[in-house]
Structures are given as C-alpha cells and as structure tokens.
Amino acid sequence: MPDPRPDIRDRADCERLVRAFYGRALTDPVIGFIFTDVARLDLEAHVPRIAAFWETVLLGARSYSGGAFRPHAELNERVRLRAGHFQRWLALWEETVDELFEGERAELAKAHAQRVAQAFYARLRELERGDPAPVTVAGGLEIGELIVTHHGDEPPRSG
C-alpha cells in the first residue's frame, strides 16, 4: 500500500504547491495566456510572494503583507477575467493540492481558494458596474465564454 500523501506542514510545502500549480497554469489552454502574455509573470519573483500568502493562510505564519486583490483588478483592466477563468484556476489548484497533499490544511487550501475566487470575481463585477453594493455569487461561478489558447511546444488538442 503506498504511503499516504502528507498534509501541508511548512513553508517548503507551500512553495512546492505553488510551483506545481504554476507548472500547470502557465501552459493551460484556458488561463495560461493570462500569466504569460498579459501579466508577463516573473515566476521566480512571484513564487515566494504567493508561497508567503499560503503560508499565512494555512500555517498562520504572518509572512504575507499587502493586498491580493489589487493585482487582479489591474489585470482585469487589461483582459476581462471571466467566471470561467476563475473556475479553471480553481480546478487546477484543487488538482494540484490533491496530487501532492491530503489532510486538514490541504482541505483548507482548497476551501480558501474557493472563497478567494468567488470574492475576487464578485468584486471585479462590482468595479465594472461601478456598484459598491456587495454581490453574492450563489451556487458557484457560471462559466462564461472563454477562448482556448495554445502555448509552448505542445500541439493543440482536438476536441
């Protein structure tokens, strides 16, 4: 019987999770372009900051400071982030968590990502409408029209 996957224990686990996630996200045909073409993400600069975010959320380390929403709002000004983008981000995040970890903190990582995605999506829609009233996203996010793009050397998948 294979050894069970560990739970998320320390900063190194948070960084491992973040790196594995971005390994998927950067080449993803739905959201990869957001990271590579729009945000032009510097992965080596970004990973320590995002690992600190998750270390703070999951381990109470208080190593992250600053707001996580503003960069997403600025990104949304360049390319409209749709519900389906957030859903795809969540799917990749949950797949990565489940592949590497199991336990209470792993479940917290997935639950917190769901809350963040819903809150960010709702806040972005508020900004677009100029509506300061809170928006409730009931029953999850609806999939909008998304463009599937091709990145890297992998040939496009026929569907």
Each residue's pLDDT tens digit, 9-37: 999 999 999 999 999 999 999 999 999 99
Q: What is the pLDDT of residues 67-87, one digit of tens each?
A: 889 999 999 999 999 999 999
**CATH number 3.40.50.1700 is the correct assignment for the domain at 11-129:** no
**What is the spatial distance between Cα 53 and Cα 159, in angstroms, rounded to a whole number?**
36
Residue, of 51 and 128, whose pLDDT is higher: 51
DSSP-assigned letters across all residues of 65-85 = -S-SHHHHHHHHHHSPPPHHH
Regarding pTM above 0.85, the answer is no
Sequence-distant (6+) residues with CB within 8 A of 120 are: 69, 72, 81, 86
Residue 143, helix vs strand vs coil: coil
Task: Please tell me the predicted confidence (pLDDT) of residue 136.
Answer: 39
Residue, of 98 and 130, whose pLDDT is higher: 98
Task: Please tell me the predicted confidence (pLDDT) of residue 131.
Answer: 52
